[in-house]
Structure 1
Amino acid sequence: MHPFRKAVEDRDERAITALLAENVVFTSPVAFKPYPGKPITAAILRGVLRVFEDFRYVREIADPGGRDHALVFTATVDGREINGCDFLHFDEDGLIDDFTVMVRPLSAAQALSAAMGAQFERIAAEAAAEAGAAAERER
């Protein structure tokens, strides 16, 4: 089992964040433009943990070189079953530098969009706090 899969299935937010590269880019299934950076990506993933119910990975697909992974999942959002896939790319240090999510069906994607939209003020505040803490550590 891939360490990211284990971290998500264990709902281990620290382990999930530790697997993200500083320059990770998160591409949402419901937002127009990608979100660059570890603080916002980690905050979005915490938001997803809050809105997904009955989440489970059902398949794991990896390229022979180990730099690309696809993790197929199912979950429920606001009573709608959602099927999706996390596409992960890993940098030379083994950290996720590209994270793209695709989901279906449309009604579930719309429920996900609404649920995450309701979380977004909290997500933005968490990301800002993380970015500030990271800047302080660098000083």
Structure 2
Amino acid sequence: MKTFREAIEGRDIEAAIALFAEDAVFRSPAVHRPYQGREQVGVILRAAFAVFEDFAYQRELNDDHGHALVFTARVGDREVEGCDFLRTNDSGEISELVVMVRPLSGLNALAAAMQKQLG
């Protein structure tokens, strides 16, 4: 089975979504309420794939509680840096994805682009 990083870097969004638990939680820096469930996570990840350009993971950090994947990307003319924080459940499925993005101008561009994608 592919890891999340392998799926994202291989641009295989369906493989990435399949790694999430049915009750997975996604927390975004642009909204205060988390998204619940694999289906909702899939909607968000598909939209992010359409919005991010030149997306690349730069490094990976791991411990007993999860993984952190540091990335760079572009949203329109804004460069962003961010981190995907992943937690897994006892079955090895991703139970939580928390995304952090900086700088604020990049986050604002990301939020606006995601809003267009999601309607």
Equivalent in the alignment of 1:127? none
1:74-132, Cα deviation, whole Å (9 max, x unpaired): 000011000000000000111110110000000000000000000113xxxxxxxxxxx
Equivalent in the alignment of 1:5? 5
Equivalent in the alignment of 1:21? 21
**Using the alignment, how far apart are the partners of 1:98 and 1:70 within structure 2?**
12
Matches for 1:19-98 after TM superposition, within 5 Å: 19-63=19-63, 65=64, 67-98=65-96
Task: From the two aligned structures, give the one with the greater strand fraction.
Answer: 2
Moved over 2 A (4+): none
Which structure 2 segments of 5+ residues have no match? Answer: none
TM-score, length of structure 2 as denominator length: 0.96
Shift of 1:43: 1.1
Shift of 1:38: 0.6
**Using the alignment, how far apart are the partners of 1:106 and 1:74 within structure 2?**
14
What is the percent sequence identity of the aligned residues?
51
Task: From the two aligned structures, give the one with the greater helix fraction.
Answer: 1
Rg larger for: 1
Report SS of the residue matched to 1:29: coil
Q: Which amino acid aligns with 2:95?
A: D
1:28-76, Cα deviation, whole Å (9 max, x unpaired): 110111001110101100110110000000010000x3x4000000000
Q: Residue 114 in 1 paired to residue 89 in 2?
A: no
Report SS of the residue matched to 1:43: helix
Q: Which amino acid aligns with 2:85?
A: F
Report SS of the residue matched to 1:33: coil
